[in-house]
Amino acid sequence: MTEQTDLREAVRQRYAAAALTVLESGGGSCCGPVGCCGEAVDPVSSDLYAGTATPSATALAASLGCGNPTALIGLAPGQDVLDLGSGGGLDVLLSATRVAPDGVAYGLDMTDEMLALAERNKAEAGIANARFIKGTIEDVPLPDASVDVVISNCVINLSTDKDTVLAEAHRVLRPGGRFAVSDIVLLRPLPPEWMTVVGLWTGCISGALLDADYVAKLHAAGFTNPTVQVTRTFTDEDLADMADDLDPESLPGGGAPEAAVAVLRGAFASAFIRADKADLRT
């Protein structure tokens, strides 16, 4: 296998395990002690939907994101929305309630276990206008110009081909459509030897783009008005909690978790990333 497929498989296995934990527990915390970006109670993943009425308690328990993309953007009845890497389906279900009755919210995920969990959460919520489809965010199985809004929650950073992901997002958007995602961004470069640590990839950090590179790639994909808004930064205590989840043997030189804290200090943040697809018809 290539490094790219190795990393994708590591991500798939981690998220499959998370989904199975929820499916087998009947709706408890999605990964026990481990969430998408570290501990389930870590500051990356915690309290993202406080004050938001969620349609499914199980979908909320299975949320593995780093933000709340549905808070990024106003949705209107009749719009069609695509969530890249929809996981347990929470953001799809939230979007579906806002675009009902005539709009559709699509959730795209590559993991069978997550798709099964999302379908169960959809049934629990009784939401008819959500559709979950299997595929990768690098090859979206939807036609050109088929949705009005593309959202995502801490998933694009996991891809090893972000240029293709952003090009696909631009392709499926209708003219005048909007890109509005929550993601992890780097605020400064990580040392090269840390960029392929699998635990950091599956935990959303070392696969992240520099904030300026994110903007540049959105421009290159054809988007206009790209912006990155940092929403959450992390203390040394936060980083120590996340570093405890790393396998010391996977760290450069077999380093201790304390080395990860030193490397990651001030290096990354949660952010809202927004952009538009120009409407050349006007």
Do residues 211 and 186 touch, judged by C-beta distance below 8 A?
yes
Q: What are the tens digits of pLDDT across the range 63-89?
A: 667 778 888 889 999 999 999 999 899
Which has the higher per-residue pLDDT, 100 or 11? 100
**CATH number, domain with residue 192:** 3.40.50.150
Q: What is the pLDDT of residue 112?
A: 92
Residue 55 lies in a domain: yes
134 pLDDT tier (thresholds 50, 70, 90): very high
Region 181-203 average pLDDT: 79
Range of the domain at 252: 3-276
pLDDT band at 194 (very low <50, low <70, confident <90, very high): confident
More confident residue, 160 or 169: 169
Using pLDDT thresholds of 50, 70 and 90, give the confidence band for residue 261. Answer: confident
Instruction: Please enumerate in sequence order all residues whose Cβ is within 8 A of that of 201, keeping only pairs 6 or more positions apart, or say none.
Output: 7, 10, 11, 158, 207
The answer to whether residue 33 sits within a structural domain is yes
Is 176 domain-assigned?
yes
Nearest by Cα to 105 from 139, 73, 62: 73
Instruction: Look at residue 225 and tell me if it is in a domain.
Output: yes
Which token pair is 138?
A: 């690098």
Does residue 242 form part of some domain? Answer: yes
Q: Are 276 and 219 in contact (CB under 8 A)?
A: no
Please tell me the distance from the alpha carbon of residue 118 to that of residue 151, in angstroms, as a whole number.
Answer: 16
The answer to whether residue 223 scores a pLDDT higher than 50 is yes
- 142 inside domain: yes
For the cut 60, the answer to whether the pLDDT of residue 35 exceeds it is no
199 C-beta neighbours (distance < 10 Å), count? 20
Number of domains in the chain: 1
Query: Would 281 be classed as within a structural domain?
Result: no
| Position 282 in a domain | no
Q: Output the pTM of the full model.
A: 0.84
- The arithmetic mean of pLDDT across residues 56-65, rounded, is 66
Local confidence band at 38 (pLDDT 50, 70, 90 cut-offs)? very low
In this predicted structure, the answer to whether residue 253 has a pLDDT above a threshold of 80 is: no
pLDDT at 12 over 90: no
